[in-house]
Amino acid sequence: MIVTQMTGMSRSRCKVYVDGQFAFVLYKGELREFGIEEEKEISETCYQQIMTELLPRRAKKRALNLLEAKDYTSGQLREKLRQGEYPPACIDEAIAYVESYGYVDDLRYARDFITYHLENKSRMRMEQDLMRKGIGRDIIEEAFDAVEQAGSGQDEVAMIRKLLEKKNYDVHTSTRQDKQRMYGFLYRKGFHTDAISRALLLDITSNSL
């Protein structure tokens, strides 16, 4: 294997290409330690030491440092490590490591997120937010079930009425046009159509406002 290119990423780090393909990112001190130079051979032993020892260890440390600052889903943490140019196998190993200690738990994250936002976000909006954070639909459904079983179910009609009250919106005096605008606003917020209709005192058997 030949080191075909070394590209500086910063004053301290370089991208290393082996046989024309991106291989890994190393600090300049590590380049010297492993004797890595452009157009020179890198032994299989050296390559494997970097890929199976050095980089996995660094990826785990990076993951732990990130988790010290805030909670992450596995998807978010994976993306952070990917941005750091860690090889996929090293990322998998780092994620498995932090999950094994309970430092990352997507179900727990989803339950906490749902409980915190029960009174200010619709279920649909929470589902969308959690999916954007990289949590799978099955885990999201399980989290909602767990929250409901704990007696913290969501009443969307009550949430909408509370929101209308904050906006000083009177459903009894609002015009048809007012209700059309409010319906669209609430729908974009992710509330279910039947809950919107009930809160706005609309005829839910009608296909139009």
pLDDT number for residue 87: 95
Spatial contact of 137 and 173, defined as CB atoms under 8 Å apart? no
| 116-148 pLDDT per residue, tens | 888 788 888 999 999 999 999 999 999 998 888
Spatial contact of 53 and 17, defined as CB atoms under 8 Å apart? no
pLDDT number for residue 60: 97
pLDDT number for residue 108: 92
How many whole angstroms separate alpha carbon 25 and alpha carbon 170? 60
How many whole angstroms separate alpha carbon 99 and alpha carbon 95? 6
| 15-60 pLDDT per residue, tens | 999 999 999 999 999 999 999 999 999 999 999 999 999 999 999 9
Amino acid in the structure at residue 35: G
- Is residue 68 exposed (0-12), middle (13-18) or buried (19+ Cβ within 10 Å)? exposed
| 162-201 pLDDT per residue, tens | 888 888 888 888 888 888 888 888 888 777 787 788 888 7
In the CATH hierarchy, which top-level class contains the domain 54-104? mainly alpha
| Neighbouring C-alpha atoms within 13 Å toward the C-beta of 58 | 18
Name the token pair of 89: 């196998």
Name the token pair of 94: 């780092």
Which residues pair with residue 22 across a beta bridge? Answer: 17
Spatial contact of 16 and 25, defined as CB atoms under 8 Å apart? yes
